[in-house]
Structure 1
């Protein structure tokens, strides 16, 4: 598996509007755009930082994964996403190593990226996302 870089850091927020105040007004990062991903019950907003991004995640449903995360742990750091050259190859390699996966096959995430999540029980408690952008 070839990890190319940290693609983005996911931050769970109750409201993107409120969350962007800190990232834009205080830190001076430019909002690249927002997108709702219905399948994941989330609206995302990206703030580029060099070659990576900060992604704010707002749940669109009380039963969505981001809402459940905030309910359990509060707002804050939710996941790290690594850009990989070939997500299918990466998942095959992780399966061979016995790593527990949330996604056995890639799905489409924000910006049309192919994504897959590793289970936090296999990563020392951190939600890890693999991301391939073509």
Structure 2
């Protein structure tokens, strides 16, 4: 017996709800988990939960390392600070390890920002630069009911496993994020700034 057949106490069928902003979000892409050590988190997400490594790398500009595992059909991004000066190190110091953010994809980040601000939600750290591969903004946790919400537009499907990357290579710092792409350290373009 499903909850929809429980008689007068049953909840309405949410598939029929017609809300003006239902199409604002394309999908939930992933959640981010802040940890002190990705190597320590791998046994839980890979070995216990059966996750598959999708991709990962170091973002030297932000001072973080990240790996993405897919669990069933849901992605989890595990984030580790690379230095004590990283924003993520500060986050872990203040809040401890755990939930960091949720990422939602949209068709139009500018329109989403407009809709959010009209509704009274504060957005921060917006990047709508000419990067066609990744545009983003964040709903501040104080405005997002305690959650950092990342809003992203990207033409790239991040749902495919990298064909050659290993967790050992990521943990050794061999893969790097730059210009919204993942590069092996031996294949970096000449203008890579770090």
TM-score bin (small chain): 0.7 to 0.9
Aligned to 2:186: none
**Alpha-carbon distance in structure 1 between the residues aligned to 2:92 and 2:114:** 31
Note closer, same or farther for the CA distance 1:36–1:122 as it changes in structure 2 (3 Å cut).
same
Which has the larger share of strand? 1
Structure number with greater Rg is 2
Aligned to 2:112: 90
Q: CA deviation at 1:107?
A: 6.6
Residue 141 of structure 2: which of 113, 120, 133 is its match?
Answer: 120
Q: Which of structures 1 and 2 has the larger relative contact order (alpha carbons within 8 angstroms, sep 6+)?
A: 1
**Higher mean displacement: 99-108 or 27-36:** 99-108
Q: CA deviation at 1:95?
A: 2.6
Structure 1 gap segments, 5+ residues each: none
CA RMSD of aligned residues (A): 2.0
Q: CA deviation at 1:126?
A: 0.9
Structure 2 gap segments, 5+ residues each: 1-20, 156-194
